[in-house]
Amino acid sequence: MRPGGLSGLSGLFLSSVSENYSGAQNKVMIIGCETRGWEPLGKSEFETTDAYVKSAMNTHNNFFKKELLGKKGRGLSFHDFTRAVEKIAGKDGLIYSNLFCFSWGKKKGSPIKSGDDVFPVVKEFSRKILNAQLEILKPDYIVFANGIASAPYRREFFPHGEGGRCTNPKSYPERVAVEYFWEFMLDEKIKCFRIHHPSARSLNAVKGRNFTLELLADAVSAKAGVGATELHVPLAS
């Protein structure tokens, strides 16, 4: 399917954006962890790198459009949350991204388990792709929803503390435990929210998701010049 490369990896995950992205009022990037068993080529053969990139982005575009049109199932899913964000910020500026650009293994799970030969490569590609997306797409807001297991690598990509890229940290312990919600600025210009993975079922995880939606609605309302009460905030429970 793909010439050379490390065995055991899925296809390359590349985010797409809507055709109306450049004119979107609210540009919101939602970052998950990895997409299980992502195979942009399907049963096709690898031809050129350009063709592969186009196929990967088309696969993402079709997949995300379908997810946004979907309905809530019995359980909690990542895209229940993306649909909740869409209701607040609109779909034109919505970006679905992932911390890792590959999944790994027979069941295509987390690349964290791929070992010392593979994981450093995944991390380096992922970091470069995310930074390129930020530079090109310039989101107004980012929701880091990649979960606990991959949190150390999120902090590695986007360090905080003295000289770090993440500054002005805020928590609201009167609303949600700090372990489940954190607000900060990335590169001094992008408002970010960090929550647990949207499939997390604990009460505090639900509170963190819903508080993120509330703050995002406030920011969108202020930008649009309307009162926050005029904007419906969907629950992500």
pLDDT tens per residue across span 170-209: 999 999 999 999 999 999 999 999 999 999 999 999 999 9
Note the pTM of the prediction, 2 decimals. Answer: 0.90
Q: What's the token pair of residue 52?
A: 């592969």
The span from the CA of 220 to the CA of 214, in Å, is 10
Q: Please, what's the largest Cα pairwise distance for the chain?
A: 55
User: Higher model confidence: residue 231 or residue 18?
Assistant: 18
Instruction: Supply the range of the domain harboring residue 127.
Output: 21-230
Give how many domains the chain has, as a whole number: 1
CA pseudo-torsion sign 176, 177, 180, 182: positive
**pLDDT band, residue 108 (cuts 50/70/90):** confident
Judged against a pLDDT cut of 50, whether residue 66 lies above it is answered with yes
Q: Is residue 1 part of a domain?
A: no
Q: Is residue 55 part of a domain?
A: yes
pLDDT tens per residue across span 4-60: 567 788 999 999 999 999 999 999 999 999 988 888 887 778 889 999 999 999 999
Q: Is residue 104 part of a domain?
A: yes
* CATH label of the domain that carries residue 33: 3.40.470
